[in-house]
Amino acid sequence: MIETIDIKELLPQKGAFVMLDRLTEVDEHKAVSRLKVRSDNLFVENNLFEAAGLVENIAQTAAAKIGYTAKYINKSEITIGFIGEVKNLVIKHLPCVGDELKTTVAFVGEALSTLLVNAIVEIGEQTVASCKMKVFMTDIQSTN
């Protein structure tokens, strides 16, 4: 069921700035997303998906889980969030056009309006990037 949800319904980011294709798993403490890197992706340069795209992909995987919880569980509005902090980011190599990324985000803590996640981006069995991230949530509603 989750895979059929239009990802745009869950995210405040729109159009070409959406950096994931779909969620494949969501539970209380975890979300998994997929992204096929296409040549027209905003963050592709010289056939490579750049670091900024990887970090945005991680942030939006967390945002999609938050959006899913808001829309399908709490029946509330999608709100805007920001990256507050990234720690221990390691980028092993940049994905190429055609690669399919699997991004797993584990929710490990929550304080006030801040969510703490551990994230890992993989292509097949290979880890491409990992980090810890703090996502700061606002009560600003998403508009179209």
Residues in touch with other proteins (CB under 8 A): 12-17, 42-45, 50-53, 55-56, 59, 80, 82-91, 94, 131, 140, 142-144
Nearest partner of 36 among 7, 12, 62, 14, judged by Cα: 7
Shorter beta-carbon distance to other proteins: residue 15 or 124:
15
Shorter beta-carbon distance to other proteins: residue 75 or 87:
87
Question: Shortest distance, CB of residue 28 to other proteins, whole angstroms?
Answer: 26
The tokens of 112 are what?
């006030």
Question: Shortest distance, CB of residue 1 to other proteins, whole angstroms?
Answer: 27
Shorter beta-carbon distance to other proteins: residue 5 or 91:
91
Shorter beta-carbon distance to other proteins: residue 2 or 120:
120
Please tell me the distance from the alpha carbon of residue 61 to that of residue 67, in angstroms, as a whole number: 10
Q: What DSSP character marks residue 69?
A: I
Question: Shortest distance, CB of residue 40 to other proteins, whole angstroms?
Answer: 10
Q: What burial letters (b/e) apply to 55-74, b meaning 16+ CB within 10 Å?
A: bbbbbbbbbbbbbbbbeeee
Amino acid at 42: L
Beta bridge partners of 118: 106, 132
- A 10 A CB-CB count for 19 gives 28
Shorter beta-carbon distance to other proteins: residue 83 or 123:
83
